[in-house]
Structures are given as C-alpha cells and as structure tokens.
C-alpha cells in the first residue's frame, strides 16, 4: 500500500491550512482512498491508498501549492484496517514518516521511502517532474489546468482570446504533453515499489549449464 504524509510548511507563522486541505482531498479523492484523510500531529495530513495514479495526482497537487512537504511511504500496512487512519500502522507509515522528514530539507519538498532498492531511482524521477512543474509560468498553468479538465486546445484558445498556435506554443514551453505522458509511468513505478523486489527476496536464480565450467 502507499501512504502519504504531508506537513504544512511554516505552519507556526502562517494560517492553518490543514483542515481545509483535508476536506478538499476527501471530497475529490475519498472514493479512491482506503481510509478517510486525517489530520495528524496538528499540522499534518495523512492518507492511504492502493491506487498509485491517485497518489501521483495528490502529490503533484500538494507540491504545486508550495504549502506542504510531502513524503510517500510504500510497503506493508497492517490489516484489517481500522476506521481511523491515525490508528493504522505498518512499514508504509514508518517509511512515510521518514520520507516527510527528508522532504522538509529538500527542494522540491518531496521524498519517497520504501524497502525496495529502486526507491531512490523512483524518487529521482518524481523530483525531475516536480522541478519541471516549478518552472512552469502562470500562462502555462492556465493551459495545463484546462487541458486536464478535458478542454480542447481550440476551446482554450477561444476562452483566453489567443490563437490556436499560441496555445500549442504554451503547451510546448510548459512541457504539458511530456508531463501527461509521464504520469502513468510514475504511477507504475510506485506500483513496482510495492511489489516484492526479486533482487532482495525469493529463491536464487538457477545456475546456467555453463556456469562454473572452466
């Protein structure tokens, strides 16, 4: 399973965003989560899901806002699940805790914790995607938000009062198509992190007929 722990940035000097964000995430993603989103430790949010695509969407939204340090933990969660996520436990929760602490000290504010030997590689690819998003202009976000909502480029051009080629140029500069194409791959990598690592467990590969021969 996959756990997300998000800690509000500079919570002591800024208004509390936790309750509103908890309610927003529950309203948008609740049907795809295993337990309701909860407020944990004052200014933290915590959620759990077995849907990697949902986790990618949530992480990208939280990091985009700049208001959260976000840690992903991948691994076992003790079952049966309780009614309240704050009573749940398992290695995914411990990994998410370690990850969010690392995220607080990094740019972008994101980290992944998992037992898999590939966790660092997956984290690096997420970071690359998040850095590209940080460089997106306001004009690029105008187009991105409408594209993911299902609008056509011609409709976006009409709404914004610009030409269709101008929208195509914005999409290229903002790397929108490249990001959208990469999202399923990032979700798949998270799924693989939640699978047994053949390099660290399971029976040894059989010896080939030629191994050990002079």
Cα–Cα dist 181/203, whole Å: 36
Split at pLDDT 50, 70, 90, the class of 164 is very high
Residue 136 lies in a domain: no
pLDDT digits (tens, 9 = 90+) for 14-24: 899 999 999 99
The pLDDT value given to residue 76? 97
- Average pLDDT of the residues in 166-181: 97
* Residue in the block written with tokens 């610009």: 162
Residue 64 lies in a domain: yes
Parent domain of 7:
2-116
Split at pLDDT 50, 70, 90, the class of 11 is confident
The pLDDT value given to residue 41? 78
Residue 110 lies in a domain: yes
The pLDDT value given to residue 192? 96
Percent of the chain having pLDDT more than 90?
86
Residue 57 lies in a domain: yes
Residue 133 lies in a domain: no
Predicted structure pTM score: 0.88
Residue 198 lies in a domain: no
Q: Assign residue 109 the CATH number of its domain.
A: 3.30.70
Cα–Cα dist 45/189, whole Å: 23
Q: Is 70 exceeded by the pLDDT of residue 214?
A: no
The pLDDT value given to residue 196? 63
Residue 200 lies in a domain: no
Residue 53 lies in a domain: yes
State how many domains the chain has: 1
Split at pLDDT 50, 70, 90, the class of 210 is very low
- Average pLDDT of the residues in 196-202: 49
Bridge partners of 68, per DSSP, are 8
Parallel, antiparallel, or unpaired: how do β-strands 38-40 and 110-114 relate? unpaired
Closest CA to 48 of 30, 63, 64, 68: 30
Q: Is 70 exceeded by the pLDDT of residue 193?
A: yes
The pair of structure tokens assigned to 126 is: 């997420």
Residue 43, C-beta contacts closer than 8 angstroms, at least 6 positions apart: 7, 8, 11, 16, 18
Q: Is 60 exceeded by the pLDDT of residue 125?
A: yes
pLDDT digits (tens, 9 = 90+) for 47-68: 999 999 999 999 999 999 999 9
Split at pLDDT 50, 70, 90, the class of 195 is confident
Closest CA to 65 of 129, 9, 11: 9
Average pLDDT, rounded, for the chain: 92
């Amino acid at each position: 399973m996959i756990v997300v722990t998000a800690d509000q940035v500079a919570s002591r000097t800024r208004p509390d965003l936790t309750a509103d964000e908890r309610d927003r995430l529950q309203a948008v993603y609740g049907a795809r989560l295993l337990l309701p989103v909860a407020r944990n430790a004052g200014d933290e949010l915590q959620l759990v899901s077995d849907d990697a695509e949902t986790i990618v969407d949530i992480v990208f939204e939280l990091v985009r806002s700049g208001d959260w340090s976000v840690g992903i933990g991948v691994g076992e969660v003790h079952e049966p699940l309780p009614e309240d996520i704050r009573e749940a436990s398992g290695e995914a929760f411990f990994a998410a805790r370690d990850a969010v602490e690392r995220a607080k000290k990094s740019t972008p504010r994101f980290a992944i914790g998992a037992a898999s030997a590939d966790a660092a590689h997956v984290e690096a690819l997420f970071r690359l995607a998040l850095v590209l998003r940080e460089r997106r202009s306001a004009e690029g976000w105008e187009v991105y938000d409408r594209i993911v909502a299902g609008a056509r480029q011609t409709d976006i051009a009409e709404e914004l009062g610009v030409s269709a080629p101008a929208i195509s140029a914005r999409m290229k500069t903002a790397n929108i198509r490249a990001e959208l194409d990469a999202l399923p791959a990032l979700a798949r990598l998270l799924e693989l992190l939640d699978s047994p690592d053949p390099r660290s467990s399971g029976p040894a590969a059989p010896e080939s007929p030629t191994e050990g021969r002079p």
